[in-house]
Chain A
Amino acid sequence: MSDASNFGNRSDYLQIEPEPWSSWWAEQYGTPTELFDDYSFWQRGKYTIWVAAADIQPGAVSPVDGIGIPLLRTGRDVWKPTSVAVIHFGRDVARNVVDLEADEASRFLGREAIEFENDARAVLPHRGYVIARYLGVPIGCGLWRRGGLASSVPKGRAMRDLELPRA
C-alpha cells in the first residue's frame, strides 16, 4: 500500500507496491494478473499512480516531473485509468470494453459523448470507466453512465476529425 505520508502537493515520487493498483486493473478489465509483473509503481501526491520500467532508478535528482507514464487517478470515488495507460496496457482486455464504429471513434476522439440506447453493446451494468476500442486496439477511456459513453480523452490530446484508417 502507499506510504501514508506521501499526501498533498509534494513533488517527490515515492516507489510503492503494485497492490492494490495492479489487482484493480486485472479485476476491472479481466487482464492477466501478471500484466504488471515487470514494472515498478510510483506515487506522486495523493491521487496519481505512475507505472515505469522495473529497473528504473531516478537516483539523486530532484525535482522530478514524471516517471514512466501515469496509470491511475484515484482522487474520486471511482478510480480512473489514464488514456495513455489504456492504450499501453489495455490491449488484451476481456470486459468493460466497448468497440466503436469509425464515426463513433471519430467523435469519441473529439471528446463527444456517444449514446448507446437500444444498442447490443450496452452491456455494462454500472457506472465506471471503460476502455474504448477501434479496429481492435484501445483508443482511450470513457465514463460509462446511463447508456452513454462520455469521452475522457484529455483536452490536450483530443482532436475532431482525426484521420482514421478504416476496416
Chain B
Amino acid sequence: MTVSDCTCPSRVSVTQYAAHMTEPAAGLDRYRELVADWPAFLEACQRPLPTVVWENPLRRDLVTRVGAECGLGEAATVADLLSCRGYSTTALDWRPGAWRVDGLAKPGRTFEHYLGLMHVQEEVSLAPPEVLAARPGERVLDLCAAPGGKTAGIAISMRNTGTVIANDLRPQRLRPLRANCERLGILNVVITPINGVRFPLEAGPFDRILLDVPCSCEGNVRDSHPDARGRATAGVAGRGGLQATLLGRAWKLLRPGGVMVYSTCTFAPEENEVVLDHALGDDAAIEPFEIPGLRHAPGVDHWAGKSLRDDCTNLARYWPHLNDTGGFTVARIRKTSDS
C-alpha cells in the first residue's frame, strides 16, 4: 500500500497535506465573509484583553479562612479578597467562580496566586474544559497541555480523581505546566514530555481527549504580552500538517464512544474545519454544543472554494467582539461506537 492509499490520518505527511491548504492571506481581511459585524470585530481587536481570574475550588477552605481573617466573612471569594484591596471585579455571566479584574497589573504577584487560591487565564480559554466535561474517575489525555490552565480546569472538573495525562513536548513549556499544577494542588495529573505525534498507543484508550493544538495564535491579537505577539506572526497555512497528524494520533487513543475536543486560539478555517475535514473519517461526529452565556458563531462547511464535512458547521468560533474575549475555535467530536 502506498502512502496515498492509506486513509489512516496519522500517516498524512506534511507535504501531502500542504496541497489541501490555501495560501495565507495577509491580515484578518480574509474573514470578512465570516464575521457578521465587521466594524465591531475590528474595534474589539484594538482593545486590550480584560484580566480574568478563577477561584480554585480545591482551595475553597483556604479562601474561607483568609476571608474570615480579613473580616469578610466565610462566604468571601477570591473576588472579595481582591475587591477589599481596591480592585474592581465583575463576575463572568457564563462561568461561576470567575471574574474580570480591573487594575490588577501583575496578578502573578499576589498572595492569592502564590497560594493557588486562584489562576489567571484568558476568559475564552476556560471554554474547552467546559466543552470536554470530564467526569470524576475518568482517564483523560491533554496532548498539548502547557502551560496547564486547561489541564487544571479538566482536573478540577474531575474533582481531583481519576487520571489526566498532561503531555507537552518542549521542556521550556513543561516547567510552567508542572509549576501551575503543583501550585493549584492538582493531584490527578501525570505529566509526560512526549512528542504528541508519537504518543504511545498502549497508554490509551482514553475516555476524553483535549487536543489544543499548536496554531498560528491569531486569536491572541488582543494580547499585549510580547510572547503572544511573537507567536501570532506564524502563518495560518504552515501548521495544518502537524495539526492533522496530532489529530490522527489522538483519534487512535480515544475509545469508541469517547469525546475529543479540538481547539485552537485562531480563527483560520485552515487550522480548524479544513483539518477536521481532512483527518476525520466516518467514525467521527462533530457535535453541536452551547455554553449558556457565551456567544459563538458557527463553523463553515466550505472554504476557499472547497466543500467540507457537513458537521463542520457544529464548530464554535468565538470572535473577540462576541463576548469581549480573545479569539478561539472549539470543536466537540464523538467517536461513534460502531467504528
- Taking Cβ atoms with an 8 Å cutoff, the residues of A that contact B are 39, 51-70, 84, 87-88, 91, 109, 134-137, 139, 156-157, 159, 161-167
Q: List 10 A-B contacts (CB under 8 A).
A: A52-B188, A55-B137, A55-B163, A65-B178, A66-B189, A67-B190, A84-B185, A157-B183, A165-B66, A166-B70
Residue B62 contacts which of A58, A64, A66, A91 (CB distance < 8 angstroms)? Answer: A91
B66 touches A61 (CB 8 A): no
- Asked if B192 contacts A51 (CB within 8 A), the reply is no
Q: Looking across the interface, which residue of chain A has its beta carbon closest to that of B162? A: A55
A56-B162, A70-B182 are known contacts. Are A136 and B111 too (CB-CB below 8 A)? no
Q: Does B179 contact A (CB under 8 A)?
A: yes
Please tell me if B275 contacts chain A, counting CB pairs below 8 Å: no
Assess whether A63 is in contact with B193, with CB atoms less than 8 Å apart: yes
Q: Which residues of A contact B178 (CB under 8 A)?
A: 65-66
B91-138 contacts to A, CB under 8 A, are: 106, 109-112, 114-116, 137
Using CB atoms, name the residue of chain A closest to B193. Answer: A65
B145: min CB distance to chain A, Å: 11
Hey, which bits of chain B sit against chain A, CB under 8 A? 61-62, 65-66, 68-71, 81, 84-85, 106, 109-112, 114-116, 137, 139, 160-163, 165, 174, 178-179, 181-183, 185-194, 199-200, 202-203
Query: Which residues of A sit under 8 angstroms from B165, Cβ to Cβ?
Result: 58-59, 61
* Nearest CB of A to B108, in Å: 8
Partner of B114 from A62, A68, A162, A166 at Cβ < 8 Å: A162
Residues of B within 8 A of A66 (CB): 178, 181-182, 189-191
Dominant secondary structure of chain A at its interface with chain B? loop
Residues of B close to A55: CB separation below 8 A: 137, 161-163
**Do A159 and B109 touch (CB < 8 A)?**
yes
A165 touches B85 (CB 8 A): yes
> Do B65 and A137 touch across chains, with their CB atoms under 8 A apart?
yes
User: Looking across the interface, which residue of chain A has its beta carbon closest to that of B190?
Assistant: A58
Task: Give the number of A-B contacts (CB < 8 Å).
Answer: 128
Interchain CB contact under 8 A, A68 and B115: no
Q: Kindly state the separation between the CA atoms of A164 and B112 in the bound complex, as whole angstroms.
A: 8
Are A87 and B188 in contact (CB-based, < 8 A)?
no
Q: Which residues of chain A are within 8 angstroms of B70 by Cβ–Cβ distance?
A: 135, 165-167
A residues near B202, Cβ cutoff 8 Å: 59-61
Cα A87 to Cα B61 in complex, Å, equals 12
Q: A61 to B194, Cβ gap below 8 A?
A: yes
B68 / chain A contacts, CB cutoff of 8 Å = 136
Cross-interface CB contact of A39 among B66, B111, B187, B190, cutoff 8 Å: B187
Q: How far is the CB of A63 from chain B (nearest CB, A)?
A: 6
- Are A59 and B163 in touch, CB under 8 angstroms? yes
Residues of A within 8 A of B110 (CB): 162-163
A83 to chain B, nearest CB (A): 9
Q: Is the CB–CB distance between B200 and A137 below 8 Å?
A: no
CB pair B190–A61 under 8 Å, yes or no, is: yes
- Are B203 and A60 within 8 A (Cβ)? yes
Which of A56, A87, A164 contacts B185, CB < 8 Å? A87
Residue of B66, B84, B182 ringed by the most chain A CB atoms within 10 A: B182
Given the interface contacts A58-B163, A137-B62, does A167 sit within 8 Å of B190 by beta carbon? no
Is A56's CB under 8 angstroms from B163's CB?
Answer: yes
* A58-B163, A68-B187 given; A162·B61 CB < 8 A: no
- Please judge, given known A-B contacts A53-B187, A60-B200, whether A156 and B179 are in contact too, CB under 8 Å: yes
Least CB distance from B157 to A in Å reads 14
Q: Which residues on A sit within 8 Å (CB–CB) of B200? A: 60-62
B22 vs chain A, min Cβ distance (A) = 37
Contacts of B137 in A (CB 8 A): 55
